[in-house]
Amino acid sequence: MIRISSLALTLMLAACAQQASVSETAETAEILIPVPEDGEGALAPLATTEEIEFAIQSPVLDALRVFSPPHAPFTVIDNIHHVGGASVSAYLITTDEGHFLIDGIVPQSPPMIVENIEALGFDISDVRYLLNSHAHIDHAGGLAALKQASGAEMVASERDAPILEAGAISFGPSAGMPFPPVRVDQIIYDGDQLTLGDTTLTAVIMPGHSPGCTSWLVDVTDEDGNPHQAFFHCSTSLGGQRVAPESYPGMVDDYRATFERVRGIDADVFLAFHSSMFGMLDRYERLMGGDDLAFVDAGALQRFNDASEAQFNTALSRQQSELETSSR
């Protein structure tokens, strides 16, 4: 058994419940979480069923409300389905031998994601691999509930896994917003592949936005039998994080290497995890209007990468000069 201090627990829950007051509950309860004895030493304390349920039922934090609106599920192309919301995405990639599910959105999102999966005729219990773009609450907040609902293996990058298992990040705008922590069953490294049935996902680790930001490449075929390559782009926005001084050591070099890395990726189905980044709502309208190739766009990924790099450079210069001014 691992003892979580009542303060740590209360802080975690407080992040999911606007009205929760630390002082009300901090002195009292001590929660015991059973941990499997595997001889590997103590595992990280993870969210219990009750904590997951509490997080789902709690009001969405003001700062996260923009990320929570639902959206009808739809098939993007081939076996890639959008099961996320209108603002933040989650993807189901289906095969005859089980499915991949990428991201859990905010802690309150899992019921919507599960409903969306069912509305498309699939079953959450057939998800074999649960993946995460990056360990921020707007993408990872619902993972613990989805792992519990699916029994899937949680796969994450080496540098984001500790954040997922802590349910907390120590820097950036979401530093004060813990989320239900989730056990990572398998660490994925750059270039590693996961296969289910006839579908193989290849991991592209592109640090910067988070230390282990993880994108995925997968081959798909359109309705006319033409091949395409889809890229699930983790993120290269700053997302309100500081780069001068760096939010973590090596952050600026990580971003630069990632922009360079993306330049070498040739994918014509550019998908991301915030709808605004890949024009999801417009493309969805076109898809519904009968354009089966609404999400196929050979130039979209590189246009996005160029714009994102320019934004990064502008923000870096601005933050550097602010830093100089303040230290004078």
Q: Which range touches Zn ion (CB under 5 A), out of 34-42, 83-91, 130-138, 294-302? A: 130-138
Q: Which of 157, 92, 158, 156 is nearest to 125 (CA)?
A: 92
Residue 199 vs 235, nearer CB to Zn ion: 235
Residue 61 vs 149, nearer CB to Zn ion: 61
Asked if 138 contacts 144 with a C-beta cutoff of 8 angstroms, the reply is no
Quote the least distance from Cβ 181 to Zn ion, whole Å.
17
Asked if 42 contacts 2 with a C-beta cutoff of 8 angstroms, the reply is yes
Strands (E), 78-226: 80-82, 91-93, 99-102, 127-131, 153-157, 186-188, 193-196, 199-205, 214-221
Residue 136 vs 159, nearer CB to Zn ion: 136
- In the numeric block, which tokens belong to residue 232? 């699930």
Q: Which range touches Zn ion (CB under 5 A), out of 16-24, 128-136, 259-267, 303-311? A: 128-136
Residue 99 vs 136, nearer CB to Zn ion: 136
CA–CA dist 285, 59 (Å, integer): 30
Q: Which range touches Zn ion (CB under 5 A), out of 162-170, 236-244, 255-263, 307-315? A: 236-244
Among 82, 136, 159, 283, contact with Zn ion (rule: CB under 5 A): 136
Quote the least distance from Cβ 169 to Zn ion, whole Å.
9
Residue 254 vs 268, nearer CB to Zn ion: 254
Long-range contacts of 283-288 (CB under 8 A, 24+ apart): 284/71, 284/74, 284/82, 287/74, 287/76, 288/74
Residue 110 vs 212, nearer CB to Zn ion: 212
Quote the least distance from Cβ 200 to Zn ion, whole Å.
26
Measured distance between the N- and C-terminal CA atoms of the chain, rounded to whole angstroms: 52
Residue 58 vs 236, nearer CB to Zn ion: 236
Residue 203 vs 272, nearer CB to Zn ion: 272
CA–CA dist 33, 27 (Å, integer): 18
Quote the least distance from Cβ 132 to Zn ion, whole Å.
11
Quote the least distance from Cβ 326 to Zn ion, whole Å.
26
Q: At what angle do helices 6-16 and 49-57 cross, to 10 degrees?
A: 30
- In the numeric block, which tokens belong to residue 187? 């660490």
Cα distances from 315 to residues 240, 245, 259, in angstroms, run 10, 12, 15
Quote the least distance from Cβ 66 to Zn ion, whole Å.
13
Q: Which range touches Zn ion (CB under 5 A), out of 35-43, 134-142, 225-233, 284-292? A: 134-142
Q: Is 239 in the site for Zn ion (CB under 5 A)?
A: yes
Kindly give, in sequence order, each residue whose CB lies less than 8 Å from that of residue 142, ignoring residues fewer than 6 positions away.
Answer: 103, 104, 105, 106, 107, 108, 109, 110, 113
Q: Is 173 in the site for Zn ion (CB under 5 A)?
A: no
Quote the least distance from Cβ 224 to Zn ion, whole Å.
36
Q: Which range touches Zn ion (CB under 5 A), out of 129-137, 140-148, 180-188, 213-221? A: 129-137
What's the gap between Cα 296 and its chain centre?
Answer: 22
Write the single-letter amino acid at 28. Answer: T
Q: Is 283 in the site for Zn ion (CB under 5 A)?
A: no
Quote the least distance from Cβ 93 to Zn ion, whole Å.
21
Write the single-letter amino acid at 151. Answer: G
Residue whose Cβ sits closest to Zn ion: 136
User: Contact positions toward Zn ion, by CB under 5 A?
Assistant: 136, 239
